[in-house]
Amino acid sequence: MEAALRGHRDVVELLVSEGADVSLVDDDGDNIIHWACWGGDVETVKFVLSLNVVDIDARNNSGRTARDEARDWHEEPVVKLLVSRGAQ
């Protein structure tokens, strides 16, 4: 999740290739999509979405989706990507 936040797509790819479980959520209910959206790196978000592991509309413990987070963090390119992939 930290690699996704920092936009280190190559590290996320390596971790996935080594068996990292990207379906996990943190104590706040945030998944890897939430974390990647906070980071704002479109390529990292695209990679995470390509894994087809996490629900794009998953809500954290506060009821917020990754799109909500990207919007509030002013990550417009990420919001556009999520919407283009069907995010509500």
Quote the domain boundaries for residue 33.
2-84
pLDDT tens track for 18-66: 999 999 999 999 999 999 999 999 999 999 999 999 999 999 999 999 9
Q: What's the confidence (pLDDT) of residue 42? A: 97
25-28 long-range contacts (CB < 8 A, ≥24 apart) are: 25/60, 26/1, 28/60, 28/61, 28/62
Please state the length of the chain.
88
- At 74, which CATH number? 1.25.40.20
Among residues 62, 50, 67, the alpha carbon closest in space to that of 25 is found at: 62
Dmax (CA) of the chain? 33
pTM here is: 0.94
Q: Domain count for the chain, please give it.
A: 1
pLDDT band at 10 (very low <50, low <70, confident <90, very high): very high
pLDDT digits (tens, 9 = 90+) for 61-87: 999 999 999 999 999 999 999 999 999
